[in-house]
Amino acid sequence: MIAEIIPESKTWTETEIFSYSVPEDLVEKIKVGSSVNISFGRKLIRGIVEKLHDNAAKTEYKIKEIISISEDFILPENYLYIAKWISQYYLCSLGDAISLFLPPAVGRPREDTRYKIQDTNKTTKLKLSKEQQTIFEQLKLNLIAKDKKPALIHGVTGSGKTEIYIELTKEALKLDKQVIILVPEIMLTPQTVERFEEIFAEKICLMHSKLSKSERYHTFYDFYSGNKPIIIGPRSALLVPSSNIGLIIVDEEQEDSYKQDQSPRYNATTLAEKIAEKSDALIVFGSATPKIETFYRAEKKEADLFELSSRYNKELMPQATVIDLKDEIRAENFSPISTKLREKIQKTLDEKNQVLLFLNRRGSATFVACRDCGFVILCHNCSIPMVYHLDEKENYLNCHHCDRKEIVPLNCPECQSTRIKYFGSGIDKISAEIKNLFPASRIAKVDSKTMTTKSDYNLFFQKFKNREIDIVIGTQMIAKGLDIPNVDLVGIISADTGLHLPHYRATEKSFELLTQVSGRSGRTDKTGQTIIQTYWPDSPAILAAKNHNYKLFYDLEIKERQKHSYPPFTHLIRIIAENSNTDKAKKEIAGMAEQIKKINLDFIGPGACFYSRLHKKYRYHLIIKIKKYPSEIITSLARENRQFIWDAEPVNLL
């Protein structure tokens, strides 16, 4: 017997499936999908059996024998199809794609010492609002429908999407089906996980990055074997294969963390839909600010749209006030805290309520603007913000699409003011200012430096919940998942930091972030309030976020996307050349541009990446726009040019 095997190899070669003979003692045990150990080159690696057949044809060369077989794992057959799709869609080797679904490689797994969730036996039905009940009843029918469409629950922050998820999970379990619940980051969504643990207890396994190899092994087999029917986690939770999936929930589907940033560069939201399709499972996306592409599909009736228009228990949305920071400068207030925000913080503290101050810290000096008139210096060729660069030899402005360079002007080209500002601020500076203004307050900083483990975040969360902290100053880590009853004020220090990044999704990401952060206040009987500080008060993203109006933003943004042929009207493939020699990297990407011109594909670039040097390598890129994808042309181009980084469906163009 001959087994055709996909080896767990990252090398993308012309041949990706290899023939091995099956030893006599394994003939009865081996199946399509079996995990086997094979000699591949000089290495001993794992592989998956793609096909079995008799050795009818004689060959001129000796076929290697399979060394051994793993009897406790067989990859369900539909995952072989999915792996082939990943290889074509995300432009990686078939072995790289298949490796996603293999069990963690652990020599001898240690005894299972994971925390055991106590079974609370909570079987009582949650009291759903009329709006929630209507959505749940329809989705309950969709669980057993033959032709299932993806579903999008679009609900304002605090509208009660989790309650619908819980009731749907109960229904899937009644059908003896397994459930995958994806969250952007376990650490940042403690309340969602707690709610599921309260209801389902021992039926849940948690997958996250802080598990040891042995813990990951036990979690994998808990779900794979069906021992536990629910798995909750970030994108890695999606990669535990099962032939019995009935429901996949993708919460906060707009989050960039669902995209893997190394090969295979899959997007978990897209992959989840493919797994649901091949498993005849229902997939439900949930978000207060869905991706433009997802909402567009719902409008086109390619997905079912369900709207939650009000907060759970009829809580009012927080009122938002926009502060024009140019007025603060004119009034000679040079503090990052506006007069209005300072007054509101004091009033909130006097009323014994809590304050969240948000600082979007992505990038530093990412664009250059005039503090008097708000003029942003744009590239003459591309109409995108020029980026400020400072190196040992010079400082200059650079366009990261066409590579145009300019000197930094001394005066604003619009109003001639000399108050040119390099935008970018730090959390430490804000923290020092708040301590100075409110010395009696208990202040906590929340960012990737202060919160390195799940226990760090849980400790902060419990302290904040127990009112041991008055003011929290945080980055994107506080933008979601926090549902604290006594937060009555959210202050957004600068709404502008991500607004002018050289990226077609810059305004969308800013709108998402502002809306999500604003939704952290007024979570109980309080209305809550939000102060948004900005130099661009008339920006569509800021005005729409102020009014919690997703549809207003969507209608404006979709027109821009169509006008400039960006997703959902095209698919993007980013190609990056990296080299320790800048001239070589530049030459490589220029050569790729010439190849693409010859086959008449539309593309942007080439130019320097926003982050032009990482890990001691210079980076240049170009971006292909294509209407139909996957594409044989792109696949063969990628296969022939493996020296580049190929990123299909990129969320990061920097």
Q: Is 212 inside a domain boundary?
A: yes
User: Does residue 362 have a pLDDT over 60?
Assistant: no
Provide the residue type at 321 as one letter.
Answer: T
Query: Closest Cα partner for 421 from 430, 413, 412?
Result: 412
| Shared-domain flag, residues 430 and 416 | no
pLDDT at res. 124: 55
Which one has a higher pLDDT value, 627 or 615?
Answer: 627
Report phi then psi at 602, rounded to 5.
-80, 135
Please report the pLDDT score of residue 365 as a whole number: 43
Last residue of one domain, picked from the residues 561, 595, 619: 561
**Quick one: which of 629, 625, 614 has its CA closest to 575?**
625
pLDDT of 268 > 90? The answer is yes
Question: Residue 403 is encoded by which pair of tokens?
Answer: 């590579």
| Average pLDDT of the residues in 467-473 | 94
Tell which wins on pLDDT, 627 or 480. Answer: 627
597 and 498, same structural domain?
no
Asked if 404 contacts 398 with a C-beta cutoff of 8 angstroms, the reply is yes
Angle at 186 between CA 513 and CA 306, to 5 degrees: 55
106 in any annotated domain = no
Q: Who has greater pLDDT, 259 or 478? A: 259
pLDDT of residue 263: 93
Cα–Cα distance measured from residue 558 to residue 411, given in angstroms and rounded to the nearest whole number: 35
Q: Which residues contact 168 (CB under 8 A, 6 or more apart)?
A: 136, 139, 140, 143, 247, 249, 282, 284
Q: Are residues 417 and 429 in the same domain?
A: no
pLDDT at 369: 85
**Residue 356 placed within a domain:** yes
403 and 482 inside one domain: no
On whether both 197 and 273 belong to a single domain, the answer is yes
Considering the domain boundaries, does residue 244 fall inside one? yes
pLDDT at residue number 281: 98
DSSP result, 345-397: HHHHHHTT-EEEEE----SSS-SEEETTT-PBPB-TTT-SB-EEEE-SS-EEE
Residue 381 lies inside a defined structural domain of this protein: yes
Q: Give domain status of residue 460, yes or no.
A: yes
pLDDT at 606 over 60: yes
- One domain, residues 547 and 459: yes
Last residue of a domain, one of 561, 585, 604: 561
Give the pLDDT score at 615. Answer: 79
* Angstrom distances, CA of residue 473 to CA of 251, 446, 546: 25, 6, 20
Task: Give me the mean pLDDT over the 369-395 stretch.
Answer: 73
Kindly indicate the confidence band of residue 465, based on its pLDDT and cuts at 50, 70 and 90. confident
Report the pLDDT value the prediction gives residue 392, as an integer from 0 to 100: 46
Q: What is the pLDDT of residues 213-254, one digit of tens each?
A: 999 999 999 999 999 999 999 999 999 999 999 999 999 999
State yes or no: pLDDT of 87 exceeds 90.
Answer: yes
Q: Are residues 394 and 436 both part of a single domain?
A: no
Q: How confident is the model at residue 316 (pLDDT cuts 50, 70, 90)?
A: low
In the chain, the number of structural domains is 5
- Better-predicted residue by pLDDT, 119 or 595: 595
- Residue 39: strand, helix, or coil: strand
243 near 31, Cβ under 8 Å? no
56 has a pLDDT exceeding 90: no
How does the average pLDDT of the chain come out, rounded?
88
Burial letters 489-522, b for 16+ CB under 10 A, else e: bbbbbbbbbbbbbbbbbbbbbbbbbbbbbbbbbb
Provide the pLDDT confidence category of residue 119 given band limits of 50, 70 and 90: low
Which one of 534, 561, 588 terminates a domain?
561
For residue 160, what pLDDT band results from cuts at 50, 70 and 90? confident
Query: Checking phi first, is residue 182 left (phi over 0); if not, alpha (psi -120 to 50) or beta?
Result: beta
What is the rounded CA–CA span in Å between residue 144 and residue 171?
A: 10
What CATH number did the domain enclosing 160 receive?
3.40.50.300
Q: Are residues 293 and 221 in the same domain?
A: yes
What's the mean pLDDT in 579-606?
96
pLDDT greater than 90 at residue 95? yes
Report d(CA 602, CA 592) in Å as an integer: 13
pLDDT digits (tens, 9 = 90+) for 485-516: 788 899 999 888 777 777 889 899 989 988 88
The verdict on 417 and 438 lying in the same domain is no
Per the listing, tokens 């990297």 go with: 585
Lowest mean pLDDT among 22-26, 110-114, 530-534, 608-612: 110-114
Task: Identify the band that residue 425 occupies on the pLDDT scale cut at 50, 70 and 90.
Answer: low
* Confidence at 121, pLDDT banded by 50, 70, 90: low
CATH number at residue 582: 3.30.70.600
Q: Does 280 fall in a domain?
A: yes
SS3 581: coil
Domain that residue 393 falls in: 367-422
Same domain membership, residue 145 and residue 33:
no
Averaged pLDDT, 296-312: 91
Whole-number pLDDT of residue 78: 96
> Is the pLDDT reported for residue 361 higher than 70?
no
pTM (predicted TM-score) = 0.87
**pLDDT over 70 percentage in the chain:** 90
In a domain, 54, yes or no: yes
How many whole angstroms separate alpha carbon 16 and alpha carbon 419? 59
My answer on whether 291 and 359 are in the same domain is no
- SS3 label, residue 541: helix
Tokens 């869905």 correspond to: 290
pLDDT of res. 400: 64
Q: Are residues 588 and 527 in the same domain?
A: no
Let me know: does 348 contact 355? Beta carbons within 8 Å: yes
Work out the percent of the chain whose per-residue pLDDT is above 90: 63
The HSE-up count of residue 375 (CA atoms within 13 Å, CB side) is 17
Give pairs for 10-18: CB < 8 Å, separation 24+. Answer: 10/92, 10/93, 10/95, 10/96, 10/99, 10/263, 11/93, 11/95, 12/92, 12/93, 12/96, 12/639, 12/642, 13/93, 14/639, 16/87, 16/93, 16/94, 16/95, 17/50, 17/51, 17/94, 18/47
* pLDDT, tens only, 125-151: 678 989 999 999 999 999 999 989 999
Can you tell me the mean pLDDT for 148-164? 90
Maximum CA pair distance of the chain?
89
